[in-house]
Structure 1
């Protein structure tokens, strides 16, 4: 018997002596009031819920009331008492708390490892994952691996999902370069056209040349400049992505095709097909060209060359975890530099138009 049931019974038993000591008229009046209240409640409530203490108290009082009066006194039906008896029997013979646990569930660390293997290896099925887990001595059934993958919403079969565009482009990025023109206006309102080339994998930017008259012959001549710059990595390049401008002739493509690079043409009026190069065309314009006055071609080459050195050697990129294109050393975001012990030095470039910050030696 729970503590609440005992407390309720003690409280009700204390009221018995007080009821016995009261006068007979007062008790009769109270009984009439309680009978009337009981009749009103029966008209309003279809089913009364009794707690265990209420049931024990009513059972004790029923011994003091004649049998023929119990129907008028208690709001019970003949089926109520058998129902209470069935509940007591069910509680007595319940073995839920005495059941032994079945087969232990899979450890959370093993589940996380299974999901990790499934995410990192899209072609692995549940049996291949089970075989891989057997190497570090994780004995687990293939059906268990399948159930874990199914519960996580991952198809257990091989080739469960093809790569997304982001995953596909990331895998192919190291073999793609893109070329495009940007334009600027000098102090004398003369328009110049720099030709830039960017590597998708490293985001490394190259300046092929600057001219006021971007003819097809000039473009072919400048195509050899990035080819010389990329000479160390030309064997790993597979594609050159460009638009359908008439300045890109067959001779321009032949410069890259001679090194085994395939030319990919973006659809007409589809800048999103060459997104990386289109974005890098706007970056030097916002950070440099729109903030300074350009005099001539030589000034443009000098300013863009210095900016590209900053872009490749210092400027962080979100796609590279805040690393510049020329850096391959991963950063440690958990390491916090003590600014009290290490001073930060500012290095202005382009006459202070752009600042770089380093630890003071």
Structure 2
């Protein structure tokens, strides 16, 4: 190992087997001998590996894998997904849906799994819907929008262009709606009409439009979207 280090000059990367061998021999040599002969690895590091080796051998934490535990790990995700996407479903309804998928569990098991994940029973669950749950349940009909800038060298020098884009959350599809060095309320109003066009508008199938509090989202811009059946949701001030 020393010859390898001297020939390459690079830091040695030891695997766990090599660390265990060094830890066993280092512990047998003792602190004084290690300080004298350990040149590639410090004596403190070798003895630290030995302490970790002992801790792993005598730890009381053992994960017992049974067929039932493995089955519960597989169905735990559908449990949580059904509860979050269907706020009005109780334990019995979720149990029936899982039975249709081929999983036979009791309502007590359903309740235990959901409580462990911090999901309260129905109907209280429907009264405490959070933003994450709302986005997940409405992702197919939700679009988000934002601006970013690009510095472009032109004959007049460096010019800043504004890029306005809209992304469909479910499809992860981004559409560039506008690129220009001048953006104002009149331009945004025309963009709103283009986006809500019933033939090729990027918001023709959307129900929710999420944006921030940029001044370019004028009252007229938001009113055009609302008249087209698209609800405008503005995020909190300062929210990234």
What TM-score results when the alignment is normalised by the length of structure 1? Answer: 0.36
How many pairs were matched up? 163
Please point out which of 212, 237, 241 is paired with 2:210. Answer: 241
After superposition, what is the alpha-carbon deviation per residue over 1:171-206, rounded to whole angstroms, capped at 9, x for unaligned? 222222223222222221122222222222222222
Q: Distance in 1 between matches of 2:228 and 2:81?
A: 33
Higher strand content, 1 or 2: 2
Partner of 2:142: 176
Contact 1:196/1:207 (CA < 8 Å) preserved in 2?
A: yes
Q: Is 2:193 aligned against 1:224?
A: yes
Q: Distance in 2 between matches of 1:138 and 1:223?
A: 48
Distance change >3 Å, CA 114–CA 126, structure 1 → 2: farther
| SS of corresponding position for 1:208 | strand
Q: Over the residues paired in the alignment, what is the CA RMSD in angstroms?
A: 4.0
Contact 1:118/1:124 (CA < 8 Å) preserved in 2?
A: no
Q: Distance in 1 between matches of 2:99 and 2:147?
A: 55
Q: Distance in 2 between matches of 1:132 and 1:186?
A: 56
Partner of 2:79: 118
What aligned pairs does 1:155-174 form with structure 2 within 5 A after superposition? 157-158=121-122, 165-174=131-140
Q: Is 2:138 aligned against 1:197?
A: no
Partner of 1:211: 180
User: What 5-or-longer segments of structure 1 have no aligned partner?
Assistant: 1-105, 273-361
* 1:125 Cα deviation from its structure 2 partner: 4.2
Q: Distance in 2 between matches of 1:228 and 1:114?
A: 43
Q: Distance in 2 between matches of 1:108 and 1:209?
A: 53
Q: Distance in 2 between matches of 1:136 and 1:217?
A: 53
Q: Distance in 1 between matches of 2:164 and 2:232?
A: 17
Contact 1:150/1:156 (CA < 8 Å) preserved in 2?
A: no
Distance change >3 Å, CA 243–CA 159, structure 1 → 2: same
Please point out which of 123, 146, 169 is paired with 2:108. Answer: 146
Distance change >3 Å, CA 177–CA 156, structure 1 → 2: closer
| SS of corresponding position for 1:206 | strand
